[in-house]
A and B are shown apart, each in its own frame.
Chain A
Amino acid sequence: MNPVIETIDIHGAELNRRGFLASGGALVVGLGLLPAGAQAAASNTTLNPAALSSWIEIGADNTVLIRTGKSDFGQGTIYTAYRQIVAEELDLPFEAITTVVSADTDRTPDGGGTFGFLGDVNGTGMPNLRKVAAYARQALLELAAQRLSVAKDQLSVADGVVSGGGKHISYGELVKDQNLKLTIPVKGQINGFMGLAVDGNPPMKPVASYKIIGQSFKNSAVVSKVTAKELWVTNVRLPGMLHARMVHPATLGSTLVSVGQVDKAKFPNAQVIVKANLVGVVAPDEWQAIQAARQVAAATKWSDWKGLPGQAKLFSHLRQEADWKSAAVSKGEANKGSVAPVMTGAAKKLSASYELPYMKHAPIGPTMALADVRPDGTVMVHTHTQNAQQLRAQIALMLGITPDKVVVRTYAGAGHYGRSNGGNAGGEDEAVILSKEMGRPVRVQWMRADDLQWSTQSPAAYSDIQIGLDAGGKIAAYSADHYMPAMQDDRPIGAVLAGLPTMPAPGDKNAPPSQNTLYDEWVYDTVLNMEERGHSTWQIGQRNSPLAAGLRDHAMRTPGQYQQNFPREAAISEAAVLAGADPIQFRIDHAKEARLKHILERLREESGWESRPAASSNGEPLRGRGVSVMLRSGTYWACACRIAVMPATGVIAVEKVTVVVDPGIVVNPLQLKRQVEGGTMMGVSEALYEEVAFDESGVTSRDWQSYPILKMGDMPEVKVVLVHRPEVGSYGGGSEAANALAAPAIAAAFHDATGKPVRRLPLRPAYVKELLTA
């Protein structure tokens, strides 16, 4: 490499010029200036530490390439909002950003999970690329000042052209024939859950002068997907590749007694591979692998196990048998006042318990991965993951090798809503184990039943809530105890079955379960006495399963907050009924935050809400309406649902859902609208249909009939209202929470329609009829 001939400080970043090039030229914005610990981590986790990937590359032809450790799971953010944010900070046209490289461990700089795209999970609205672009802008201005001999503060930029003193020069001309590298400060761990974060405070473009953020640019991945040009993970093929299907144990606690043999007359090229309790069948032909795996499964014997309470006894088990004392109790940050005496003296009191079932991420495509373990011990995994760097670390741990031997490449795939945000979704580890055994690339495709029965799930939960009203019908005291088994089991299940090393479970035989964090941000600031506690226990069946499996829990869209916001908002609606108050006005009366009050007022207008106390309707169908609110990752949400209940059949039709969203700055209105619509549909699906069926041995939901989700014929009309508040100055999370609003609003609407409160989901017809006759 050429020696550095010039170094310039750029707000704490370092711009280096290394000689000149005969052709081409670029400004490459990469990471560096790592604190000592992070430096070691980064060099351990890249194949070639000398070639750390850059965030942004600005070429002599005025095109720009951006890279991110996050992947796309249908949010579209990396192809739309990220381009807009970079283009905005650099004053470039959106179209100048021609290439987006994402979530390949050897080709992207920062790692981190695919969540909190527009900031961190606390809603700071500061994605890495925003700061990276801000540093790059300052470096380009510095270069332009030199070239034009005009002071930096006399320069302006438009469409990638820097002007000042009557002169101008494009970014492309600035970098032409130059070898420039801008090294910017970072903190964190590349293969940690959050990855690396850009450090320092480069000057940002003022929000008031935004031109590109706020426009509805289209998603380039939509074009490639609609025209069948996308390279989906399902399409990746390697020479000599074998297809595999897994023969998973008979129960979540079964060990292998004897493995079935392949009928070689029927499947001459198929082969069984066994490693402890991991059984896979491989064949060069996919259909042969499927049929041979079925034949082997039928002939394989497993020990019996009945270590689960079964679905019917789930909540009695959780209440009476589960150990909630071993995990530390979480206490809400907003806890205040003295709840107990005020509750005792309350004029009216609501005491209610709410129950939520296990739910499945249920991707439309079951998980799959293609692994190539090479003779030199290096490993390549082709998959669809939300956290490629963590998956890389998990594979390395499993094989007892260092992460620098593992590369994870990420492709488009079926959305799975948080299942792989800590690395694996299922199958990646199995593909690696089988590839190592076979010495050839192996593609593991889970079947629909594998995906429902052997994946993690969103944990069941229950909450006990008390609300005391004063004589004026206002909330004098609020108390909530949230109970949920430990979440975020990121152990790869194939490694668990094969008896290979994994990270620990979220609480194992010797360690207490991880805490139940209080995820749902409190918004009723006028309440003087309130307390929330989070209680945790071990995953059901995990400690008594000889496999250490059981019902493994994992974050799923709006994790934890879904389980805590439903009971809170359902109870607030019930308290409004108890107070004889309108549920929107009741919420406004208990809020201080202007943004929350505003979206509730907008909700009242946009949903055509008539202010009245709760009044059960007459006749058939019974109609009602309900409301819910949430604060998540810097974004305020309010939702109204109108439903019709058919008493004769127990069927609920959700007729209309209105959602008002205030994320602060709206980056891309069209994309945000589609995200909110989609999340709302998922929320209606969860409220009406979704519940994991399980018996004493395992999950019995095995297809779309035993795990039903919303169909198009049952979709509500959805109205999305976006509230753009540039003065907030940050980008709030825009899609994740959208699934959590409908359920509490539907529950309140049912109460409004029928006079019967809903304290359990889902609202399937049999349960609705039970509620109506109670």
Chain B
Amino acid sequence: MVSITVNGKQREVQSAADTPLLYVLRNELEVSSPQFGCGLAQCGACSVLLDGKEVRSCVTPLSMAAGKEVTTVEGLPARWAKQKDLPAAQADKTLHPVQAAWIEEQTPLCGFCQSGMMIKATELLEKTAKPTDAEIKAAFTTSGPSAHLCRCGSYAAILEAVRHASVLMAKASST
């Protein structure tokens, strides 16, 4: 039995320790936002935050997540509420600024890659509050084990949504 924290809740997991985290999340814990894209850490569709760092859950064995904190898109609102000390009633109604920007900019096309894209954006904005376009492009292209791929070609919409999320986060911090 392995113990991991997923979206703020401690979970005891039955899966074999070598099982990639992706299958543990999707099949055992019913956390389904990370998607299977390649199983090779080449596309980013399965990205999650592991202690705040974006990793590819398709090649991350459960054992490597033991005792650590996993955040998926399901947990982004709570992560934001905690970072901002929002009262519980408000937290329930809040989206993470990355999600709000993704909706406002109508970023997803088919949307299959966008869970990973939002996870990458969250990692970036937690470290770099006001990234330049070059920093945004680098985050999605060269910063991880591979570029985050979008076959529908939503890259311009992602760039605009990250800029938008950065503004929303700055506004939230100034109030």
Name the B residues within 8 Å of A471 (CB-CB): none
B23-38 interface code vs A (CB 8 A; 1 in, 0 out): 1001100001101111
Known: A447-B39, A704-B40. A225 touches B152 (CB 8 A): no
Known: A286-B23, A715-B137. A226 touches B102 (CB 8 A): yes
A364 to B141, CA, bound (A): 16
Is the beta-carbon distance between A74 and B137 smaller than 8 angstroms? no
Considering only residues 213-235 of chain A, those with a C-beta below 8 Å from chain B are: 218-219, 221-223, 225-228, 230, 232, 234-235
A290 to B141, CA, bound (A): 29
Is the beta-carbon distance between B112 and A218 smaller than 8 angstroms? no
- The stretch from A301-309, A330-338, A678-686 touching chain B is A678-686
A520 to B73, CA, bound (A): 43
Question: Would you give the shortest CB distance from A299 to chain B, in whole angstroms?
Answer: 21
Total count of chain B residues near the partner, CB < 8 A: 56
Nearest opposing residue in chain A for B146, CB measure = A704
Is the beta-carbon distance between A682 and B140 smaller than 8 angstroms? no
A223 to B93, CA, bound (A): 14
Considering only residues 432-466 of chain A, those with a C-beta below 8 Å from chain B are: 445, 447-448
Tell me, yes or no, whether B155 is within 8 Å of chain A by CB: yes
A73-109 interface code vs B (CB 8 A; 1 in, 0 out): 1111000000000000000000000000000000000
A712 to B37, CA, bound (A): 17
Partner of A225, one of B20, B108, B155: B108
Tell me, yes or no, whether A264 is within 8 Å of chain B by CB: no
Tell me, yes or no, whether A703 is within 8 Å of chain B by CB: yes
Known: A365-B112, A415-B112, A705-B42. A234 touches B36 (CB 8 A): yes
Partner of A710, one of B33, B153, B158: B153
A678 to B153, CA, bound (A): 4
Nearest opposing residue in chain A for B153, CB measure = A681
Considering only residues 232-249 of chain A, those with a C-beta below 8 Å from chain B are: 232, 234-235
Tell me, yes or no, whether B50 is within 8 Å of chain A by CB: no
Interface centre among A228, A675, A715 (most CB of B within 10 A): A228
Is the beta-carbon distance between B112 and A364 smaller than 8 angstroms? yes
Interface centre among A232, A363, A447, A681 (most CB of B within 10 A): A681
Name the B residues within 8 Å of A65 (CB-CB): none
Interface centre among A76, A286, A362 (most CB of B within 10 A): A286
Question: Would you give the shortest CB distance from B120 to chain A, in whole angstroms?
Answer: 10
How many residue pairs link A and B with beta carbons under 8 A? The number is: 175
Nearest opposing residue in chain A for B120, CB measure = A712
Is the beta-carbon distance between B108 and A222 smaller than 8 angstroms? yes
Is the beta-carbon distance between B114 and A226 smaller than 8 angstroms? yes
Question: Would you give the shortest CB distance from A39 to chain B, in whole angstroms?
Answer: 36
Is the beta-carbon distance between B109 and A678 smaller than 8 angstroms? yes
B88-102 interface code vs A (CB 8 A; 1 in, 0 out): 000000010001001
Known: A286-B27, A448-B39, A715-B137. A74 touches B110 (CB 8 A): yes
Is the beta-carbon distance between B16 and A287 smaller than 8 angstroms? yes
Is the beta-carbon distance between A228 and B72 smaller than 8 angstroms? yes
Partner of B103, one of A223, A290, A366, A677: A223
Is the beta-carbon distance between A709 and B149 smaller than 8 angstroms? yes
Question: Would you give the shortest CB distance from B104 to chain A, in whole angstroms?
Answer: 8
Nearest opposing residue in chain A for B99, CB measure = A226
Tell me, yes or no, whether B56 is within 8 Å of chain A by CB: no
Tell me, yes or no, whether A564 is within 8 Å of chain B by CB: no
Name the A residues within 8 Å of B112 (CB-CB): 232, 363-365, 413-415
Total count of chain A residues near the partner, CB < 8 A: 57
A688-718 interface code vs B (CB 8 A; 1 in, 0 out): 0000000000000001110001111111011
Is the beta-carbon distance between B153 and A711 smaller than 8 angstroms? no
Tell me, yes or no, whether A671 is within 8 Å of chain B by CB: yes
Known: A413-B110, A448-B38, A713-B137. A678 touches B23 (CB 8 A): no
Interface centre among A226, A287, A671 (most CB of B within 10 A): A226
Name the B residues within 8 Å of A680 (CB-CB): 153
A670 to B106, CA, bound (A): 8
Tell me, yes or no, whether B65 is within 8 Å of chain A by CB: no
Tell me, yes or no, whether A412 is within 8 Å of chain B by CB: yes
Interface centre among B15, B140, B147 (most CB of A within 10 A): B147
Partner of B115, one of A228, A670, A677: A228
Partner of B151, one of A76, A234, A415: A415
Known: A218-B103, A712-B159. A73 touches B110 (CB 8 A): yes
Name the B residues within 8 Å of A285 (CB-CB): 15, 27
A75 to B108, CA, bound (A): 10
Question: Would you give the shortest CB distance from A743 to chain B, in whole angstroms?
Answer: 14
Name the B residues within 8 Å of A228 (CB-CB): 32-33, 72-74, 115
A448 to B26, CA, bound (A): 18
Question: Would you give the shortest CB distance from B153 to chain A, in whole angstroms?
Answer: 3
A603 to B19, CA, bound (A): 53
Is the beta-carbon distance between B38 and A222 smaller than 8 angstroms? no
Name the B residues within 8 Å of A679 (CB-CB): 153
A197 to B17, CA, bound (A): 54
A445 to B38, CA, bound (A): 11
Tell me, yes or no, whether A205 is within 8 Å of chain B by CB: no
Name the A residues within 8 Å of B111 (CB-CB): 74, 221-222, 225-226, 230, 412
Tell me, yes or no, whether B150 is within 8 Å of chain A by CB: yes
Name the B residues within 8 Å of A675 (CB-CB): 109
A362 to B45, CA, bound (A): 14
Is the beta-carbon distance between B147 and A711 smaller than 8 angstroms? yes
Nearest opposing residue in chain A for B109, CB measure = A74
Tell me, yes or no, whether B107 is within 8 Å of chain A by CB: yes
Interface centre among B37, B95, B115 (most CB of A within 10 A): B37
Interface centre among B32, B42, B72, B146 (most CB of A within 10 A): B32
A219 to B15, CA, bound (A): 37
A670 to B164, CA, bound (A): 16
Known: A226-B102, A681-B156. A365 touches B137 (CB 8 A): no
Name the B residues within 8 Å of A674 (CB-CB): 106-107, 109, 154, 157
Is the beta-carbon distance between B72 and A711 smaller than 8 angstroms? no
Name the B residues within 8 Å of A364 (CB-CB): 35, 37, 43, 45, 110, 112-113, 149-151
Name the B residues within 8 Å of A219 (CB-CB): 106
Question: Would you give the shortest CB distance from B102 to chain A, in whole angstroms?
Answer: 5
B65-79 interface code vs A (CB 8 A; 1 in, 0 out): 000000011100000
A677 to B137, CA, bound (A): 17
Name the B residues within 8 Å of A414 (CB-CB): 35, 37, 110, 112, 151
Question: Would you give the shortest CB distance from A615 to chain B, in whole angstroms?
Answer: 30
Q: Lowest 8 A-B CB distances belong to which pairs? A: A681-B153, A74-B110, A713-B141, A415-B110, A74-B109, A678-B153, A414-B112, A711-B147
* 17 contacts across the A-B interface (CB closer than 8 A): A227-B95, A228-B73, A234-B32, A363-B151, A364-B43, A674-B106, A674-B109, A674-B157, A677-B153, A681-B156, A682-B151, A705-B42, A709-B151, A711-B140, A712-B140, A713-B138, A713-B142
Q: Other than the known A704-B40, A705-B42, what 6 A-B pairs have Cβ atoms closer than 8 Å?
A: A218-B103, A218-B106, A362-B151, A364-B112, A677-B154, A715-B159
